[in-house]
Amino acid sequence: MISLDNLTVSYGGWTLFDQISFLINEKDRIGLVGKNGAGKTTLLRIITGEQQPSEGAVTINGECTIGYLPQQMRVADTTTLKAETEKAFDEVLRIEAEITSLTAEVAERTDYES
């Protein structure tokens, strides 16, 4: 669960967000739509903790994970887009590989006494 409470983002005398509040529940699927400069990227940066709001708070449930692929990537190697995106699922992929390995081990086992 992600909760945004009275979020305000101001740049000088210009206010991008003014005390917005909303809640993203566990099963929610959302999309951000808007014209250039509407604040979509700023909102995502605030949710991921890359940027701080002028006012308000973001609360993220301890079990929540966020995968965010920025528009402008800072690439220092030859990582592909697919490989970079999969980094958000490192834990899930590790568990999946472990399950596959254990399943194969159980299937191949012939020593049922130990």
List the domain range (segments joined by +) for residue 14.
2-108
Q: What is the pLDDT of residue 114?
A: 62
Instruction: Tell me the helices (H) and strands (E) count for the chain, helix number first.
Output: 3, 3
On whether residue 46 sits in a domain, the answer given is yes
On whether residue 113 sits in a domain, the answer given is no
More reliable by pLDDT, 70 or 114:
70
Report residue 19 as tokens.
């005390």
On whether residue 57 sits in a domain, the answer given is yes
Q: Is the pLDDT of residue 112 over 90?
A: no
On whether residue 42 sits in a domain, the answer given is yes
Q: Where residue 74 falls among pLDDT bands split at 50, 70, 90?
A: low
Secondary structure letter of residue 25 according to DSSP = -
**Rg (alpha carbons) of the chain, rounded to whole number:** 21
On whether residue 114 sits in a domain, the answer given is no
SS3 readout for 47-88: HHCCCCCCEEEEEECCCCCCCCCCCCCCCCCCCCHHHHHHHH
Report residue 38 as tokens.
């509407």
pTM of structure = 0.63
Stretch 25-48: mean pLDDT: 88
For residue 43, the domain's CATH number is: 3.40.50.300
Q: Number of structural domains, the chain? A: 1
